[in-house]
Amino acid sequence: MNRDLILRVAGNQFRSVAASAIEGRRITADEALLLYEKAPLSLLALLASNMRERLNGKRVLYNINFHLEPTNICIYGCRFCSYHRERGDEGSWDYSTEQMLEMVRNHASRPVTEIHITGGVHEGCDLRRWGDLIEKIGLEIPSIHIKAFSAVEIDYMAESYSRPPGYVLQYLKERGLSSLPGGGAEIFDSQIRELIAPKKPSAERWLEIHRIAHALSLPSNATMLYGHVEKYRHRVDHMLRIRDLQDETGGFLSFIPLKYRSANNLMKDTGEVPLTEDLRNYAVARLFLDNIRHLKAYWPMLGKESAASALSFGVDDIDGTIEESTSIYRMAGNRERAAMSVEELRELITSARYEPAERDSLYNIVNREPLSPGSSSHPT
């Protein structure tokens, strides 16, 4: 991408930060805040695209995966959450181990490479039960990567057993846990956290659990919930803490901004930010998190068309087929069907003029021919 063109677009106000981004120098928190507050979208698109191509070329990655959500019954009741139910509420569920294994068996004949397990937290979220579940999933699909249990769930297991998080993580790893999802991070600022998720473990605890996971060779993702009551400075602070931990451990695989959706929760009057704000957020995240190679637009949250737009703002990963196996964003108001075939994923990527590539959970490229039109990965 033409350096001089980008610097001309940047003008005097943004020339210094643009030059840093182009030349691979780390941008500061103050520079990130400047980009959030004042940079035109056209400049952000140029800078973020330049960086994503330097890191990842023209490839956009996807995987063949499905989710398992054991329960939506949760003790935390976060104000932003549309998923939460109390026990006995209409629409609540709490699957047995056998019910969950049957869901896994429904996917066993498909070329899935990853299962993503996370859900609500309550007294039935038992360490031994989850260890048993992981072992049995490994027997059903021996080759599958098990990405499971947010730091919030790990914290609850540790507290319930009066054990340190390292004990819980090692126990689960020995039974087949391969990596951690990035949920539960929300926004790290303590005042914002008190407003939106007052019962949830602290930011420091979330970071501690991921630090321990990385030390045990359990990689993870990192997330940020944006577009509610936080300010730009809170987003920058959040990403700075993640960047600092990544400098220390190198254990984060990807960063996933998660858009607040306003339907059916206690913060519904807050509304939702527009697509232009989503794109601004992706671009600044790409530029600021220089030590996390992959930036994901989780399409069931963002929507298919918006995810395609995000590819021009630094995103190089759009997650996977999902197999209509997640309810979280449907319950928050997104009415798109949460499943895409491999063909649909590849078409979304190529229509945005990028190169689709299947990945595994550790971001290795899977070298196989795309599925034929008659072998869609949709559930039957």
d(CA 143, CA 159): 31
Can you give the residue ranges of every domain in the chain? Answer: 3-48, 57-358
Task: Give the burial class of 42: count Cβ atoms within 10 A of its Cβ; 0-12 exposed, 13-18 middle, 19 or more buried.
Answer: exposed
d(CA 7, CA 5): 5
- Above 60 in pLDDT, residue 372? no
Q: Who's near 235: CB < 8 A, 6+ residues apart?
A: 36, 187, 224, 226, 281, 284
d(CA 98, CA 105): 10
**Region of poorest pLDDT, from 112-121, 332-341, 350-359:** 332-341
Q: What is the pLDDT of residues 260-312, one digit of tens each?
A: 998 888 899 999 999 999 999 999 999 999 999 999 999 988 989 999 999 99
Q: What pLDDT shows up at residue 369?
A: 63
pLDDT band of residue 3 (cuts 50, 70, 90) is confident
Contact yes or no for 26/287 (Cβ under 8 A): no
Q: What DSSP line would sit under 104-152, residue for residue?
A: HHTTTTS---EEEE-----TT--HHHHHHHHHHHHHHSTT-EEEE--HH
Alpha helices, DSSP H only, in 316-360?
328-331, 342-351
Q: What pLDDT shows up at residue 48?
A: 97
Q: What is the pLDDT of residues 183-193, one digit of tens each?
A: 999 999 999 99
d(CA 238, CA 254): 15
Q: What pLDDT shows up at residue 208?
A: 98
Over range 216-235, report the average pLDDT. Answer: 98
pLDDT band of residue 338 (cuts 50, 70, 90) is low
Over range 10-14, report the average pLDDT. Answer: 90
323 vs 77, residue with greater confidence: 77
CA 112 to chain centre: 18
Over range 3-26, report the average pLDDT. Answer: 91
d(CA 120, CA 93): 10
57-358 belongs to CATH 3.20.20.70: yes
Task: Give the burial class of 106: count Cβ atoms within 10 A of its Cβ; 0-12 exposed, 13-18 middle, 19 or more buried.
Answer: middle
- Above 70 in pLDDT, residue 376? no
Q: Who's near 110: CB < 8 A, 6+ residues apart?
A: 64, 323, 377
Largest Cα–Cα separation, the chain: 63
Compute CA distances 282 → 20, 41, 119, whole Å: 18, 11, 26
Q: What pLDDT shows up at residue 334?
A: 52
Over range 325-344, report the average pLDDT. Answer: 65
- Above 50 in pLDDT, residue 374? no
Over range 192-197, report the average pLDDT. Answer: 96
Q: What percent of the chain has pLDDT over 90?
A: 80
Contact yes or no for 233/296 (Cβ under 8 A): no
Contact yes or no for 212/170 (Cβ under 8 A): no
Over range 139-147, report the average pLDDT. Answer: 97
- Above 90 in pLDDT, residue 325? no
d(CA 49, CA 55): 10
- Total Cβ atoms within 10 A of residue 342: 22
207 vs 88, residue with greater confidence: 207
Helices and strands (H, E) in the chain, number of each type: 15, 9
Q: Which of 315, 48, 19 is nearest to 10 (CA)?
A: 19
pLDDT band of residue 9 (cuts 50, 70, 90) is confident
- Above 90 in pLDDT, residue 371? no
Q: What pLDDT shows up at residue 77?
A: 85
Q: Which of 156, 208, 220 is nearest to 183 (CA)?
A: 220
Average pLDDT score over the chain:
91
Q: What pLDDT shows up at residue 332?
A: 47
Contact yes or no for 315/296 (Cβ under 8 A): yes
